[in-house]
Structure 1
């Protein structure tokens, strides 16, 4: 058995390579762990790319200071990625998961590394030079989430992942309560977001009949996909921690409300891709989804308004924490402005 040396930058509080290697041996992974690099900033989950037993893998675990529900979240991801094997949904292949917290102190799992470009980061070819490639890959973000919505969640063993009954009815009161919880931050106390009451009333009054229950990614946008470096398409959907069973049209609404329009320095998602130009408009995304789905999209504006309502409240939490000195003030202000912009856009749709 060969145990690799812990890199200088990698604290054993994050991953104890000796313990990881012993566990991997029991799972059929042998040899040294090497070429370890950290992906992302690590403020949420810790994500490491590594080489092990001749394979490029990614290890995902909770943050260095886990939250109370961190292990439960990772267990959900393990379950979802395992179940998606064999479907036509683009996703990282699940390799192995560890639910024994005696190994690393937390739940963690390994998945196949996916070669691909994140639209929210620096892009390579063909996307840098080919507008048609950018357009086709961007359209495939709608196609990919339509494929997710078409999966028979019961057949793949995810029938009890969420509570689809009353999914839409729960959304407005849930997120109003969430917004109200920010008043616990003395520096924030009082609603600082526009149109909230107006949009809550509109959403209740215009709620459509719920779409057929299915898998909902829960945070579907350009920064949560990887684009194939050869063929303009989605190579993988990533970050499955919010996945549940509900109304899948909320994912399309989420994609639409986060969609960047032109070169926008304040874009929440996909800024580097949008800066290069050539992206489809929202109407084209809806058409691409419709071509791969039999769902009724006549109320898609309602889902887009709901997505904007929910997203604004979620990211406003960072602003509230920043006022209390618990988050970066610049990031908090930027997200507050983005929350206001999402609500302004949602209000325009509702009118």
Structure 2
């Protein structure tokens, strides 16, 4: 989302200042107020008070039905992760009683690689290669966190069994959109059957980010380290290896804007070296991620038929869906050992 679309006036600075006083935060006038661009529809604003910089995150003025609840969940996750080694934005304080919900976090010193690479990353191939491995390392760190920090946050029992039926229902729901002829996705049924037949028998529940890929990572300005994992809207308690599958499934897209990244196999091996989780079924998790993401993207294609999304975007994302299912087919036949 472009910063020009963020309405800073959505934030009542007088109310914010009074609330910050109640929290015992540094006082004084609120200054240097500026919008922050990001990948979600939520409002993010940077400001300073008492010589301390902050980022405020809150729903848009015309909030979606679940906007406030999503922010409540995000604030709870960031509070739970605050005293762990996980590279997450550091929560300062949150207002979750009244709506609109909002929270304050410390600014992250870093950049998002989907918007371009600064120096030294742009000219140092070794740094670019290491960035992918640092992403795997950051994910392994999240996988080590005790899910007991977030009691009642998700439904880990039956989590893997629910995945294929859940996303097939999502795909079926697109049929309610006027004009959508139904999914024309080669390999759809074959992939669903393979996933059901090869599903891991068990897993160890952990905290999942839910949308772990390069566009949701910020990297340190001076090297390959992950400065922060951002956008925790999809976080739940489930199987953390789905995050690893998601990272691998989206890898061809990542390489488009960060050349010279480590290979999917290197990423998996790096994670394996840092985790005691059983990665013998990593192919299943990668195929599951292709399956889920392909169905999610097909939703925009379906909405385009109903005039609820631009046709060119719908066509583009349908092509991405076909690529993802083709990639799933390749992994089913050849495993991640072979490059696509």
Compute the TM-score of the two structures, normalised by the length of structure 2.
Answer: 0.91
Aligned pair count reads 329
**Do the aligned partners of 2:75 and 2:94 also contact (CA within 8 Å) in 1?**
yes
CA distance in 2, matches of 1:236, 1:190: 39
Partner residue in 1 for 2:145: 151
- Which aligned pairs between 1:44-59 and structure 2 lie closer than 5 A? 44-59=41-56
After superposition, what is the alpha-carbon deviation per residue over 1:101-148, rounded to whole angstroms, capped at 9, x for unaligned? 3xxx41111111101111111221221111111111221101110110
Residue 225 of structure 1 is aligned with which of 197, 200, 217?
217
- Which aligned pairs between 1:197-216 and structure 2 lie closer than 5 A? 197-216=189-208
C-alpha change, 1:308 and 1:231, in structure 2 (3 Å) is same
CA distance in 2, matches of 1:8, 1:180: 33
C-alpha change, 1:40 and 1:151, in structure 2 (3 Å) is same
State the Cα distance separating 1:43 from its structure 2 match: 5.5
State the Cα distance separating 1:41 from its structure 2 match: 5.9
CA distance in 1, matches of 2:188, 2:95: 42
After superposition, what is the alpha-carbon deviation per residue over 1:130-183, rounded to whole angstroms, capped at 9, x for unaligned? 1111111221101110110111121xx213111111100000000000111111
CA distance in 2, matches of 1:58, 1:51: 9
After superposition, what is the alpha-carbon deviation per residue over 1:240-263, rounded to whole angstroms, capped at 9, x for unaligned? 111111111000000000013xxx
C-alpha change, 1:55 and 1:319, in structure 2 (3 Å) is farther
Partner residue in 1 for 2:249: 257
**Do the aligned partners of 1:223 and 1:270 also contact (CA within 8 Å) in 2?**
no
Partner residue in 2 for 1:242: 234
Gaps of 5+ in 2: 334-340
Partner residue in 2 for 1:94: 91
- Which aligned pairs between 1:112-191 and structure 2 lie closer than 5 A? 112-154=106-148, 157-191=149-183
Residue 17 of structure 2 is aligned with which of 21, 37, 55?
21
Compute the TM-score of the two structures, normalised by the length of structure 1.
Answer: 0.88
CA distance in 2, matches of 1:41, 1:131: 27
After superposition, what is the alpha-carbon deviation per residue over 1:266-286, rounded to whole angstroms, capped at 9, x for unaligned? x3x4643x2xx2210011001
After superposition, what is the alpha-carbon deviation per residue over 1:53-103, rounded to whole angstroms, capped at 9, x for unaligned? 3222211112332121111111110100000012111111001111243xx
CA distance in 2, matches of 1:228, 1:216: 23
CA distance in 2, matches of 1:122, 1:184: 39
Q: Does 1:319 align with 2:301?
A: yes
CA distance in 2, matches of 1:311, 1:80: 23
- Which aligned pairs between 1:287-306 and structure 2 lie closer than 5 A? 287-306=269-288
